[in-house]
Amino acid sequence: MGAKTAALDLRGLKHWALGLVSPVCAILISFIMAGIVVVFSGGNPLEAYGALLRGAFGSAAGLRNTVRYTLPIIMLALSFSLCDRCGYFNIGQEGQMFTAALAVAWVPQFMGGAPGFLQILVMVLLGALVGGVMSLIPALLKFLLGINEIVIGVLLNYIATLLSSYMLLHASFADPNSSMPMSYLIEAALPAAAMVGGVVLIVLVYGLGMQRTVPGYELRMIGKNPRFSRACGLPTVRIILIMALIGGAFSGLAAVGEVAGVYHKMYEGFAAGMGYNGMTAALIGKGGSVGMVFGSLILGALQSGSVTLSVETSVPAELVQVVQGFVMFFATVNILRFGFRRNRKGGN
Amino acid sequence: MEPVVRMVGITKRFPAIVANDSVDFTLEAGQIHALVGENGAGKTTLMRVLYGQYAPDEGEIWVGGERRSYNVAGALALGIGMVHQNFMQIPEMSIVENIILGHTPKRLGFVNYRQARQRVQELLTRFGMKNSPDAPISSLCVGERQKIEIIKVLYLGARVLILDEPTAVLTPQETTELFGILRELKAEGTSVIFISHKLREVIEIADRITVMRKGRVAAGFDGGGVDETAVAQAMIGKQDVQLLQNDKAADIGAAVLEAKNLWCFDGDGVPKLRNLSLQVRAGEILGVGGVEGNGQSQLIDILVGMLQASGGTVTLAGEDISRCSIRERRDRGLGYIPEDRMTTGLALEGDIDENLICGCDNRGPFSRMGLLMRKAIRENTGRMIESFDIRGVSAGKPVKSLSGGNMQKIVLAREIARNPKVLIAAQPTRGLDIGAINFVREHLLARKRGGTAILLVSADLEELMSLSDRLIILYEGSCAGEITDLGTVSEADIGLLMGGVTRRKKEG
């Protein structure tokens, strides 16, 4: 590759900055709307947001917590956006997480004596594989038989959630002495540095791969016009299925991080609602890796700051969910395009 | 006498283009008024303004002596009805249900079918249609479906009938029949506006011809003995523009693309191709004609690999490719100019780089070991822009902002630069202006001279006759006839074949 020229860098920078306008607007509007809700319920929005900000970024512990919440959202956002480009609406992320987590919880049962790093390695691989297969099921049904993937995905979520509840009571890894359904403590722990490093690496590979590699190009073209891509000879179905597999693997990895890196056990409902966070972050980023990381950071910070919010102010922690709801709502609107949209061209 | 419709100084702007630029248009009672012009001249836009679909940015519309502004419902109330190019019908519903849709006569809150059926029956009889009002639309052929559209507009009480390219889907015989109906309507005092770009028809039927070019009125002629070339000149606006012709200098080699006994059934089990065989030889342009919907798109999709045939084989240079993927077919030298460049020929959201390399992106020089070679891709784009004279592109910008001609040049560049052995060109000049048409023709003829076997599918008879070395006409999925003596055959003969009357059958 030749040396980059300054002009090219500028163009890239402009593109990059423009890509942030829409998500920033969506988030600002959401905060304003949620602020109005706070005012009407008798609170002070500035005070509330101040508490959120302090909680998320004001201390080393808060910052650590913010990163901890942001990482899985990034993985889920990548998962959602990768599938979304193929026209596959991956609403089954929670199901993928629950099944992957079951696999992770099961690993110490059959290789308990093995060294920790080996167990972790198996957990990562197995979690990714199980998540990927779970995501492949609706994708196969959709692209080979034309069955709606949203229906299948939502139903699979129920199956996975209820299956994990059952397994956490009756499987070999279920802890019978705990007060709620959960697994035994997992002794092999995924180090935080590995999680941060892994996610950074995946984001970089994703961002560069999308722009610079043949699979990335083909995926982008399928996203822009699948019929055209097929007519040009791209193996569209194969690419789509591979992307569904990788997308599911990303959800699985998010679950591996949660179970083996944060909680050190799997408990009932640990991933409930996380799929929506990933989807929202992907919508904020509009498929761009920078925007998605930004969106994940905002959502992660909201979660991490919510404790401080409820401790320091009279505003309940549920405000965070109100903000999230608004963000999801406004992120679906492409504000940039909306602003400039006019009559479409008519004619023949 | 006061004209039925008077449009004064109509201007309609769209983001990229001024579609109508202070256009004046007058329609008299009982007049058949033809509106002609190339694609994109603003004919349809002007009529949509009259029909209330678009509000004009400037200008006045006077209907029956009063200044009006209205929407579609208002237009219908004023007696202005439009028959669109693409029929707006629900095939599963009956004739009478389609006609009364949105305007159901009611009695005590129930649909008064008896009254509706009676009125529809009257209209059907008047148009010489023997179909029952309860027959489903899907049982009708295209010509009949068009009559139903006209009946629908008359049922709503239209006194001004706008027909947008009504003859595009008709055989010459059906066109003659349509003209009979229009003359009858005219005798009853109904006014007709007739959009077309087929000059011969226009001169035959119109009392008045208005020519549009680039959003303006270029000329007006009174009907009866108008010189066709004068109208053509006004339409094109340039002197001495001749469409390129195939000189038919035969240097034709062996068969390269061969289809044998192709069968294709649609989802309902209706055969779309019936035992169709054809071959295209090196250096030959084989034209495929016929009324649209007689198996052309299935044939193309099967040859290209977008659709699996229900039976039969396709061979390319002697190798059976029936089971090959699209990529394998393309690697063996198949090029494809799709019928619809907006949905199949291009990714409109992609930039020119992305559109030019698609399908070749996985090999040198565009990529190496899975990494895109951006320098090589940009150089390729530069070369293509130069040799195909693509205008208006800027790096990194979606190609959707380009004109139709420049979009088609990108498709041509991608497909022709690969130097294909076989080129399948579906409606390659549809919707292009005359300069771009000639550009496309020039490249097709150059490929032919270079020895490429070209299959040209077109709805434009003139194009088929001037470019093909040999012509086959499809009717209901099989070959109604093959024409090798294109110099001597008349359009009327071809029209008979298009209508399913077999002239002679030769097995290729």
Provide the shortest C-alpha distance from residue A169 to chain B (in Å). Answer: 47
pLDDT at A233: 93
- Of the candidates B325, B330, B299, B321, the residue with the CA atom closest to the CA atom of residue B455: B299
Please state the length of chain A: 348
The neighbouring-strand residues paired with B263 are B311
- Contact (Cβ atoms closer than 8 angstroms) between residue B24 and residue B49: no
Q: Say if the Cβ atoms of A213 and B372 lie within 8 Å.
A: yes
Whether A146 contacts chain B with CB within 8 A: no
Chain A hits for B358, Cβ within 8 Å: 221, 228-229, 232, 234
Chain B residue at shortest CA distance from A213: B371
Domain ranges of chain A: 20-337
Chain A hits for B345, Cβ within 8 Å: 228, 231
- pLDDT interval class at A4 (50, 70, 90): very low
How confident is the model over B176-186, as pLDDT tens digits?
Answer: 888 998 999 99
Say what percent of chain B tops pLDDT 90: 45
- Contact (Cβ atoms closer than 8 angstroms) between residue B443 and residue B244: no
Sort residue A267 into left (φ over 0), alpha (ψ -120 to 50) or beta. Answer: beta
- Contact (Cβ atoms closer than 8 angstroms) between residue A105 and residue A259: yes
pLDDT at A5: 44
Q: Which of B358, B375, B397, B427 to mutate to test the interface with A (most CBs of A within 10 A)?
A: B358
Whether A15 contacts chain B with CB within 8 A: yes
Q: Are residues B44 and B193 in the same domain?
A: yes
The tokens for A254 are 């998010």
Say if residue A343's pLDDT is above 50: no
- pLDDT interval class at B501 (50, 70, 90): low
- Of the candidates A50, A52, A82, the residue with the CA atom closest to the CA atom of residue A69: A52
Q: Which of B355, B361, B423 to mutate to test the interface with A (most CBs of A within 10 A)?
A: B361
Calpha distance B257→B275 (Å, rounded)? 16
- For B287-306, what is the mean pLDDT? 91
- pLDDT interval class at B417 (50, 70, 90): confident
The tokens for B274 are 């019936």
Provide the shortest C-alpha distance from residue A346 to chain B (in Å). Answer: 7
- For A9-21, what is the mean pLDDT? 64
Say if residue A7's pLDDT is above 70: no
Calpha distance A148→A138 (Å, rounded)? 8
Size of interface A-B (CB pairs under 8 A): 109
Q: Say if the Cβ atoms of B348 and A225 lie within 8 Å.
A: yes
How confident is the model over B285-294, as pLDDT tens digits?
Answer: 999 998 777 8
Calpha distance A233→A230 (Å, rounded)? 5
Say if residue B502's pLDDT is above 50: yes
Provide the shortest C-alpha distance from residue B81 to chain A (in Å). Answer: 18
The per-residue DSSP string of B47-99 comes to HHHHTTSS--SEEEEEETTEEE---HHHHHHTTEEEE-SS----TTSBHHHHH
Helix axes B491-498, B172-187, angle to 10 degrees: 90
The tokens for B236 are 């094109």
Say whether the peptide bond before residue B365 is cis (omega within 30 degrees of 0): yes
Angle at B369 between CA B366 and CA B373, to 5 degrees: 30
- Contact (Cβ atoms closer than 8 angstroms) between residue A258 and residue A71: no
Provide the shortest C-alpha distance from residue B449 to chain A (in Å). Answer: 25
- Of the candidates A300, A295, A287, the residue with the CA atom closest to the CA atom of residue A327: A295
Half-sphere exposure of B377 (CA within 13 A, CB side): 28
For the beta carbon of residue B91, count every other beta carbon within 10 angstroms: 12
Q: Are residues B426 and B473 in the same domain?
A: yes
The shortest CB-CB distance from A348 to any of B44, B327, B343 is to B44
Whether A177 contacts chain B with CB within 8 A: no
Q: Are residues B197 and B304 in the same domain?
A: no
How confident is the model over A77-94, as pLDDT tens digits?
Answer: 999 999 998 889 999 999
Say what percent of chain A tops pLDDT 90: 62
The tokens for B172 are 């010459």
For the beta carbon of residue B392, count every other beta carbon within 10 angstroms: 12
* CATH number of the domain residue B474 falls in: 3.40.50.300
Q: Say if the Cβ atoms of A229 and B358 lie within 8 Å.
A: yes
Q: Are residues B264 and B215 in the same domain?
A: no
Q: For residue B357, what is the DSSP state?
A: H
For the beta carbon of residue B372, count every other beta carbon within 10 angstroms: 21
For the beta carbon of residue A8, count every other beta carbon within 10 angstroms: 12
Q: Say if the Cβ atoms of B14 and A233 lie within 8 Å.
A: no
pLDDT at B504: 47
- pLDDT interval class at B321 (50, 70, 90): very high
Q: Are residues B289 and B208 in the same domain?
A: no
ipTM value for the complex: 0.79
Q: Say if the Cβ atoms of A225 and B19 lie within 8 Å.
A: no
Q: Are residues B164 and B126 in the same domain?
A: yes
Half-sphere exposure of B308 (CA within 13 A, CB side): 5
Rounded (10°) CA dihedral A187, A193, A199, A204: -150
Higher-pLDDT residue of B312, B84: B312
pLDDT at A338: 46
Say if residue A2's pLDDT is above 50: no
Say if residue A14's pLDDT is above 80: no
The shortest CB-CB distance from A232 to any of B39, B48, B359 is to B359
Structural domain span for residue B483? 255-333+420-498
Question: What type of residue is B229?
Answer: T
Which residues, in sequence order, are CB contacts of A201 under 8 Å at separation 6+? Answer: none
pLDDT at A13: 65
Instruction: Tell me the average pLDDT of chain B.
Output: 87
The neighbouring-strand residues paired with B27 are B5
Q: Say if the Cβ atoms of B361 and A229 lie within 8 Å.
A: no
Say if residue A6's pLDDT is above 80: no
- Contact (Cβ atoms closer than 8 angstroms) between residue A266 and residue A104: yes
Say if residue B507's pLDDT is above 60: no
Among A36-40, B138-142, B240-244, B296-300, whose mean pLDDT is lowest? Answer: B240-244
- Of the candidates A297, A319, A308, A220, the residue with the CA atom closest to the CA atom of residue A24: A297
- Of the candidates B183, B180, B158, B178, the residue with the CA atom closest to the CA atom of residue B168: B178
Q: Are residues B64 and B207 in the same domain?
A: yes
Chain A residue at shortest CA distance from B350: A224
H helices of B321-433, in order, are 326-331, 352-357, 374-387, 404-416
Question: What type of residue is B178?
Answer: L
The neighbouring-strand residues paired with B367 are B372
H helices of chain A, in order, are 6-40, 45-57, 60-85, 93-111, 116-145, 149-170, 192-212, 214-224, 226-231, 236-256, 274-285, 289-312, 319-331, 335-340
The shortest CB-CB distance from A212 to any of B330, B347, B372 is to B372
Direct distance between the N- and C-terminal alpha carbons of chain B, in angstroms, rounded to an integer: 61
- For A125-129, what is the mean pLDDT? 97
The tokens for A278 are 């990933």
The neighbouring-strand residues paired with B336 are B424
Q: Say if the Cβ atoms of B373 and A233 lie within 8 Å.
A: no
pLDDT at B291: 79
Number of independent structural domains in chain B:
2
Whole-prediction pTM: 0.76
Please state the length of chain B: 508
Q: Are residues B205 and B272 in the same domain?
A: no
Say if residue A348's pLDDT is above 50: no
Angle at A329 between CA A326 and CA A331, to 5 degrees: 105
Higher-pLDDT residue of A291, B499: A291
The tokens for B486 are 């294109």
Chain A residue at shortest CA distance from B363: A214
- For A18-33, what is the mean pLDDT? 81
Q: Say if the Cβ atoms of B45 and A231 lie within 8 Å.
A: no
Q: Are residues B143 and B261 in the same domain?
A: no
Question: What type of residue is A27?
Answer: I
- For A241-258, what is the mean pLDDT? 96
Q: Are residues B268 and B145 in the same domain?
A: no
SS3 readout for B306-350? CCCCCEEEEEECCEECCCCCHHHHHHCCEEEECCCHHHHHCCCCC
How confident is the model over A160-194, as pLDDT tens digits?
Answer: 999 999 999 999 999 988 888 999 999 889 999 99
How confident is the model over A37-75, as pLDDT tens digits?
Answer: 989 988 888 989 999 999 999 999 999 999 999 999 999
> Would you call B248 helix, strand, or coil by DSSP?
coil
- pLDDT interval class at B26 (50, 70, 90): very high
For B42-76, give one letter per residue: b (16+ CB within 10 A) or e.
Answer: bbbbbbbbbbbbbebeebebbbeeeeeebeeeebb
For the beta carbon of residue B481, count every other beta carbon within 10 angstroms: 22
- For B380-402, what is the mean pLDDT? 88
Chain B hits for A10, Cβ within 8 Å: none
Whether A212 contacts chain B with CB within 8 A: yes
How confident is the model over A134-164, as pLDDT tens digits?
Answer: 999 999 999 889 899 999 999 999 999 999 9
**In the CATH scheme, what is the code of domain A20-337?**
1.10.3470
Chain A residue at shortest CA distance from B18: A345
Q: Say if the Cβ atoms of B326 and A11 lie within 8 Å.
A: no
Angle at A300 between CA A297 and CA A303, to 5 degrees: 150
- For B298-325, what is the mean pLDDT? 94
Residue B384 covered by a domain: no
The shortest CB-CB distance from A227 to any of B54, B336, B344 is to B344
- Contact (Cβ atoms closer than 8 angstroms) between residue A160 and residue A94: yes
- pLDDT interval class at B341 (50, 70, 90): confident
Chain B hits for A345, Cβ within 8 Å: 14-17
Q: Which of A8, A15, A229, A232 to mutate to test the interface with B (most CBs of B within 10 A)?
A: A232
**Which of A 217-276 lie inside 8 A of B, CB atoms?**
217-218, 220-221, 224-225, 227-235
Q: For residue B401, what is the DSSP state?
A: G
For the beta carbon of residue A36, count every other beta carbon within 10 angstroms: 12
Burial degree of B110 (CB within 10 A; 0-12, 13-18, 19+)? exposed
The tokens for A72 are 């899985």
Whether A348 contacts chain B with CB within 8 A: yes
- For B69-97, what is the mean pLDDT? 87
